[in-house]
Amino acid sequence: MENLERWVTVAEAAAIAGVSKRALYNWLADGKLVTRRTVGGKRGSLRIYAASLFLPDAPARLKVVS
């Protein structure tokens, strides 16, 4: 399994989750993922904590079923 204890770009998070970037932005708008902005330029770059894709509050399609 991929290392999920890191910050990834929106495109990388979409690839990990197997969804479109648009779906990821919808989840971000709903507050379902842990994010941060990097410092730099007029606006920082958005990063997503990869492990947050699989937290209990994550979208249902991504929850790990045991």
The pLDDT value given to residue 46: 87
The radius of gyration of the chain's CA atoms, rounded to the nearest angstrom, is 12
pTM: 0.73
The pLDDT value given to residue 51: 87
Q: What is the pLDDT of residues 20-59, one digit of tens each?
A: 999 999 988 988 888 888 887 666 688 999 888 877 666 6
The pLDDT value given to residue 60: 55
Cα–Cα distance, 39 to 32 (Å, whole number): 22
Cα–Cα distance, 44 to 64 (Å, whole number): 31
Extended beta strands in the chain, E state: 7-8, 35-37, 46-49
- Among all chains, which residue has been given the structure tokens 């994550």? 58
Q: Is the pLDDT of residue 61 over 60?
A: no
How many other C-beta atoms lie within 10 A of the C-beta of residue 53? 25
The pLDDT value given to residue 66: 42
